[in-house]
């Protein structure tokens, strides 16, 4: 597959990720090993604390507003699962796509992510988003309306404590006197923003990357152009930036080349559960992932 030299235009070499969202928890470790053997750069996990019995909120990435999961779908705690998968691999990276950070106090998030950084030897990124299930926020006592502000101030808090030593914070949503948190990450943790709204794209341009979700080739190209414009306006075009596209369930090398030219740095293979349905065996998932790589023409995960 084509790749872009490091640093060219502030972009990174092309990478491939496998989404393992909605996968049965006991299959994650063998699938992570399989993805590493195939040459994937990394794997993603989704995040929901629970599934409400009644959801009136609309899922933004389906035509009918229905989510791609049921109450029976497993959503393991992402950072615990990432720590386990990291112990079973040596090169594979891990990210959340996306972690609903506004549902938690940022000190809790910072502690989980820092621990995962140490146990993975730095092979993690933090993909975050504001979420769409109002009922989840209501049960956990978090403000759905303020979730964007909670996310942004939460990142500020996390970066403070990740720097080590005594820090304090005085903001509109979080307030604390001097404290220290250890361990700290063993390497800087990239912050990637998920979502396709104008607000999400503008926010992503201010951080380290963007994670698409359910994009068509046209919507992906549009999002990449919008990201480029926002980054230019912020004078950040020369800085490293990941633009991770999920454009269709089947691999399309020609599309990869077109979107790479438009600014994509990575592509995501959809979760096996999308094609295989719930309850598919581990062997079926292994075959599915292997077939995706073959359809992509093979890659080395560089």
Question: Which two structure tokens, joined as six digits, stand for 1?
Answer: 């597959």
Residue 4 lies in a domain: no
**Gap between the Cα atoms of 86 and 35, Å rounded:** 12
Residue 79: CB atoms within 10 Å: 24
Is 301 a residue whose pLDDT tops 50? Answer: no
**Residues 102-138: pLDDT tens digits?**
999 999 999 999 999 999 999 999 999 999 999 999 9
For residue 100, what are the contacts with CB-CB under 8 A and spacing of at least 6?
47, 48, 49, 128, 129, 130, 131, 136
**What values do phi and psi take at 25, rounded to 5?**
-60, -40
6: Cα within 13 Å, side-chain hemisphere: 1
Residue 133 lies in a domain: yes
Beta bridge partners of 126: 191
**Gap between the Cα atoms of 177 and 166, Å rounded:** 9
Length of the chain: 302
Is 184 a residue whose pLDDT tops 90? Answer: yes
pLDDT band at 190 (very low <50, low <70, confident <90, very high): very high
**Residues 217-266: pLDDT tens digits?**
999 999 999 999 999 999 999 999 999 999 788 999 999 999 999 999 99
Residue 218 lies in a domain: no
Residue 18: CB atoms within 10 Å: 26
Question: Which two structure tokens, joined as six digits, stand for 289?
Answer: 């992932």
Question: Which two structure tokens, joined as six digits, stand for 112?
Answer: 């989980």
Contact 18, 94 (CB under 8 A): no
Residue 266 lies in a domain: no
Per the structure, the complete domain to which residue 87 belongs is given by 12-193+275-295
Residue 155 lies in a domain: yes
Q: What is the CATH number of the domain that holds 144?
A: 3.20.20.30
Residue 163 lies in a domain: yes
pLDDT band at 13 (very low <50, low <70, confident <90, very high): low
Residue 259 lies in a domain: no
pLDDT at residue 8, as a whole number:
35
User: How many domains does the chain fold into?
Assistant: 1
Question: Which two structure tokens, joined as six digits, stand for 282?
Answer: 């581990």
């Amino acid at each position: 597959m084509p790749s872009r030299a490091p640093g060219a235009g502030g972009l990174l070499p092309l990478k491939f990720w496998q989404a393992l969202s909605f996968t049965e928890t006991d299959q994650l470790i063998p699938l992570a090993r399989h993805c590493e053997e195939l040459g994937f750069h990394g794997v993603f996990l989704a995040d929901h604390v629970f599934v409400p019995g009644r959801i009136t909120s609309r899922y933004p990435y389906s035509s009918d507003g229905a989510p791609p999961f049921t109450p029976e779908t497993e959503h393991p705690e992402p950072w615990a699962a990432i720590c386990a998968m990291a112990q079973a691999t040596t090169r594979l990276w891990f990210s959340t796509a996306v972690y609903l950070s506004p549902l938690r106090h940022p000190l809790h998030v910072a502690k989980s992510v820092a621990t995962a950084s140490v146990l993975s030897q730095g092979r993690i990124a933090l993909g975050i988003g504001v979420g769409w299930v109002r009922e989840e926020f209501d049960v956990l006592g978090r403000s759905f309306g303020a979730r964007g502000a909670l996310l942004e101030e939460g990142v500020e808090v996390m970066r403070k404590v990740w720097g080590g030593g005594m820090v304090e914070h005085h903001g509109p949503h979080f307030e604390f006197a001097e404290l220290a948190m250890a361990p700290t990450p063993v390497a800087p943790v990239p912050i990637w923003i998920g979502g396709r709204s104008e607000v999400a794209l503008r926010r992503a341009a201010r951080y380290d990357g963007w994670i698409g979700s359910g994009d068509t080739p046209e919507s992906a190209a549009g999002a990449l152009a919008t990201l480029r414009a926002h980054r230019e306006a912020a004078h950040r075009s020369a800085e490293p930036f990941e633009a991770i596209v999920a454009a269709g369930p089947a691999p399309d090398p020609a599309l990869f080349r077109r979107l790479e030219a438009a600014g994509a740095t990575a592509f995501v293979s959809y979760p096996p559960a999308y094609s295989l349905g719930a309850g598919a065996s581990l062997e079926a998932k292994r075959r599915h992932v292997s077939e995706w790589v073959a359809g992509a023409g093979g890659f080395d995960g560089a």
